[in-house]
Structure 1
Amino acid sequence: MTTTKPTQRWGFGMLLALVAVALGVSGAPAPLYALYAQEWGFEPITTTVVFAVYAVAALGSVLVTGSISDRYGRRPVLIAAVLLILVGLGLFIAADSVAWLLAARVAHGLGVGAVVVVASAALLDLRPDDGERTGRLTGVVFNGGIAVTLVGVALIVDMGPAPTVLPYAVLVAIMAALLVAVLCMREPHTDDRSVTLNIARPRVPASIAGHFRFSALGVMAAWSVLGVLLSLYPRIASEAIGATSVLFGGAVVGASAAASALSQAVGGRWPARPTAIVGDLGTAVSLVLCVPAVAWGHAWAIAAASTLVGLFFGLAFGGSLRHLSQHVPAAHRGEVMSAFYVLAYGAMAVPTVLAGWAATVWSPQTIFAPFMVAVAVACTLAALLGMRTQEETVDEPVAAAS
């Protein structure tokens, strides 16, 4: 039985803000990893492992929290998620060793993963007839939150006291305000909740295998870039220009995230597959351009190349996700999206850890070019596969007619 959905006009905007801040929290430590490494003397692989445990925890959360919120409601799951994010921020404030960082990132992975899934579902609960626009807005705030937080954290670290404490304290205050808002929010999921709890099983029907391969390869290439951008790249960019502060590294990655938000806002109105193909090819080219930019050590060249990466990353990720969404059978939506995010988070974690290990054996600057070229090749393969899939789709009616 379906009841009338409660109206709370501010709820939609609050949920978007929650997604933005939660994703911002996920990227907040990026400008600080170099400081932790200097203070505690750990190698680049430690930085990437700390980042990877976040991705693994987020994946686990993504697979289970949607079902839990279908059964028990969005509001209680979001409250628990915000509390986990606050716990993670508290652990960062108190951190005096790598073990504290690992614990904080696990808490953040669980909390942010839940927010991404459950807040997205709650947004659709509030505006069920406006799914496409809601999806575009979610993609924009996803990247916008990361961009604003990265730049804000870098500024606080450079200009304020207690660089490894104050940024998290500011985020605690913001998240606490959002927790109050979630507590005041009416439950948006008022439909019948007599559903069985389950873990979304990764599975892809044979009928959409080609579409899935194209979308999955594109997002895997894109998210492998995201992993390195949020772990090693701030340090690499800062060292390339001889910067002694974290501001440049944070600002460069923030500009990339902001450009991604802009391209998703604009590109979301374009056809999905051509957008993804252009995004894949553009990402490949811009990744290669980052190599000479870093080698030359020119700040504006690095900033420009990184911004181009963000612009095309947004098109690649947004187009790939929309393309897959258009072809997923309704009965298999949970299974297919589960497989999609398993590969996405795996691509974020595994190449990042491998890059961290390689940077320990050689140096971050030495492994940077081979890594960027390898990901550029993967992006190009995704684009070629998308073109092939397009040709097959065009040929299908002809074959049927004959």
Structure 2
Amino acid sequence: MTATPRRLSHHAGFWVVAAAFVTTMAYSTVPTPLYPLYQERDGFPVWVITMIFAAYAVGVVFSLFFVGHISDWAGRRRMSVIAVVVSALSAVLFLVWNDVPGLLTARFVNGVSIGILTATATAYLGELRAISRPAENIIIAASVAGAANLGGLALGPLIGGVFAEYLPDPLVLPHAVFLVLLLIVALVLVAVPETTEPVEPRPRYRPQRLALPSRSRPAFVAAGLGAFASFALFGLFTSLAPTFLIDAFDQHSHLLAGATPFAVFASAAIAQVALARVVLARQLMIAIVSCTVGLVAIAAGALTPSLGLFLAGGIVAGVGVGILFRSAIATAASLAEPGRRGETLALIFLIAYCGLALPVIAVGVSLLFVSETTVLLVFSSLVLVATVGAGLVMRRRAAVGSTP
């Protein structure tokens, strides 16, 4: 007789999935303060760092389009475990194949795991909460999912910075530690109850369908632009902040290299939680002002140069793009046609993750021809125009009561 594995309660399973979400997202940004160490060891130029980071974003986009939706019929638990195991595989690649081709491969594989988990864990948390606490508002699960996502992304660089600054073998130890953590997480996830009924016969595989709303196209374009620009700022700080700190401000602290993107992601996460109950039109006005002030401060900090102004600008801009991204999701959801909400949200997430990759690649190529300060000024200006323009269009729609 085959023993049935013991399952956790749905309430306990909810927090296990949340912890798995945080751990896996954190590992995806642990390499941020380590990039200059790889660069120093192997002597590659700055643009290679942008390619390594872009490989991660390409992996996310790939898995969101081809794999992320499979949990709807293959099961949330199974796909969550697979996502964590794939992340553990990327840790193995970092440990055994850490020249440039290996780094590109490891980051792509890590991105694949994030694309699977982002879609799966968000749905899983909502379903587990609905079963364990049916009387509660679904916003609790959504808030936990959002906090786990951005919170994990924020913690990763800080953890990587601590490893690099204070512990031995910074290109080995962080990956070894997270390999163990991820394998433990995968084992515990096996005990979480499943929330989806198996589909028999299994449907024929197809990539994720995408849906562009037929109504209010300008509002959807604004939402897409806001999501793209928000992730562009996240991508810049996650990929090149440590290099800018060294070259523009002569700051070689690995802890500071990790704390800088941590502060940007953390401010975005805190703003999302703190302003969750504020009227959307008011949230968008705060986002517009924060993006304007923050991006101007980033540019001024690079010109002066003033490290304090640069960091303060990143934190304030983080508040703005955190709110803007969540508002873009809300706008896209409100525009979706009946029965096609998931397909519309999939499209907005794909646009956002393209924003994570394409601008960073453009920055890397630009650094071959012009100075870092010039690139940062142009980048800040373009993101400023995109975020403010998108915010104004979405705010106009929210102000007339079209968006909940």
TM-score, L = length of structure 2: 0.90
Match of 1:158 in 2: 165
Q: 1:278–1:316: 8 Å Cα contact kept in structure 2? A: no
Post-superposition offset of 1:127:
2.2
Q: Which residue of 1 aligns with 2:155?
A: 148
CA contact (8 A) 1:27 1:149 kept: yes
User: Could you tell me which amino acid in structure 2 is paired with residue 28 of structure 1?
Assistant: V
Question: Are 1:250 and 2:252 an aligned pair?
Answer: no
2:124 matches 1:122 = yes
> Structure 1 CA distance, aligned partners of 2:284 and 2:143?
14
Equivalent in the alignment of 2:19:
17
> C-alpha displacement at 1:385, in angstroms?
1.8
Pairing partner for 1:180 from 187, 194, 197: 187
CA contact (8 A) 1:50 1:105 kept: yes
Q: 2:71, 2:120 within 8 Å by CA — same for their partners in 1?
A: yes
Seen in structure 2, the aligned counterparts of structure 1 residues 136 and 195 have a Cα distance that, compared at 3 Å, is farther
Counterpart in the other structure of 1:169: 176
Matched, 1:205 2:213: yes
Q: Which residue identity does 2:172 align to in structure 1? A: V
* Aligned-pair CA distance for 1:89: 0.9
* 1:21-50 residue CA offsets vs partner (Å, 9 max, x unmatched): 222122111111111112112222211111
Indicate whether 1:317 and 2:317 are aligned. Answer: no
8 Å contact from structure 1 (residues 14, 181) kept in 2: yes
Moved more, 80-89 or 299-308: 299-308
Deviation at 1:124, TM superposition (A): 1.7
Following the alignment from structure 1 to structure 2, what is the Cα–Cα distance between the partners of residues 190 and 22?
A: 26
- 2:16–2:188 CA contact under 8 A, matched in 1: yes
Distance 1:330 1:158 in 2: 52
Q: Which whole-Å CA distance do the structure 1 matches of 2:26 and 2:271 have between them?
A: 18
- Cα gap change, 1:199 to 1:131, in 2 (>3 Å): farther
User: Unaligned stretches of 5+ in structure 1?
Assistant: 396-402
1:3-402 alignment to 2 at 5 Å?
7-128=9-130, 130-190=137-197, 196=203, 197-390=205-398, 393=400
**Which stretch of the first structure deviates more once superposed, 288-297 or 250-259?**
288-297
Partner of 1:398: none
Give, in angstroms, the shift of residue 142 of structure 1: 1.5
- Deviation per residue, 1:7-30 (Å, 9 max, x gap): 432111111111112221221111
Structure 2: how far apart are the matches of 1:46 and 1:240?
A: 18
In structure 2, stretches of 5+ residues that fail to align are 1-6
Among the aligned pairs, what percent are the same residue? 25
CA deviation profile, 1:107-141 (whole Å, cap 9, x unmatched): 10111111111111111221235432221221122
Change over 3 Å in CA distance of 1:96–1:62 after alignment to 2: closer
Residue identity in the other structure for 2:175: Y
Specify the code of the residue in structure 2 equivalent to 1:55. Answer: A
CA distance in 1, matches of 2:39, 2:288: 33
8 Å CA contact 1:272, 1:320 repeated in 2: no
The worse-fitting range, judged by mean Cα deviation, of 349-358 and 164-173 is 164-173
Higher mean Cα deviation, 152-161 or 364-373? 364-373
2:288–2:392 contact (8 Å) kept in structure 1: no
Residues in 1 aligned to 2:217 and 2:28: alpha-carbon distance in whole angstroms: 32
The letter of the residue matching 1:172 is L
Q: Give the conservation status (yes or no) of the 8 Å contact 1:218–1:316.
A: yes
Say if 1:281 and 1:379, in contact at 8 Å, map to a contact too.
no
Q: What CA RMSD, in Å, does the superposition of the two structures yield over aligned residues?
A: 2.2
1:400 paired residue number: none
CA contact (8 A) 1:203 1:339 kept: yes
**How far apart are 1:389 and its partner, in Å?**
3.1
The alpha carbon displacement at 1:388 in A equals 4.0
AA aligned opposite 1:120: T
Q: How far 1:254 sits from its partner (Å)?
A: 0.7
User: Quick one: structure 1 residues 6 and 93, their matched pair in 2 at CA, closer, same or farther if it must change by over 3 Å?
Assistant: closer
Write the letter of the residue equivalent to 2:79. V
Deviation at 1:153, TM superposition (A): 1.0
Q: 1:110 to 1:334 in 2, by over 3 A?
A: same
Offset of 1:208 from its aligned partner? 4.0
What is the alpha-carbon distance in structure 2 between the residues aligned to residue 101 and residue 76 of structure 1? 27
Name the aligned partner's letter for residue 183 of structure 1. V
Counterpart contact for 1:65–1:118, Cα < 8 Å: no
Relative to the length of structure 1, the TM-score reads 0.91
One-letter code of the match for 1:121? A
- CA shift for structure 1 position 300: 2.9
User: What is the deviation of 1:271?
Assistant: 2.7
Q: Quote the residue 2:3 is aligned against.
A: none
Amino acid at match of 1:282: S
Determine if contact 1:147/1:257 at 8 Å carries over to the other structure: yes
Mean Cα deviation higher: 350-359 or 236-245 = 236-245
Asked if 1 retains the 8 angstrom alpha-carbon contact of 2:332 and 2:348, the reply is: no
Provide the secondary structure at the position in 2 that maps to 1:243: coil
**CA deviation digits over 1:315-336, x for unaligned, max 9?**
1112221232233233111321
In 1, Cα distance between the equivalents of 2:391 and 2:10? 42
| Alpha-carbon shift at residue 188 of structure 1 (Å) | 2.3
Letter in 1 for 2:105: A
Say if 1:76 and 1:394 are closer, same or farther in 2 by CA, change over 3 A.
Answer: closer
In 2, Cα distance between equivalents of 1:176 and 1:57: 21
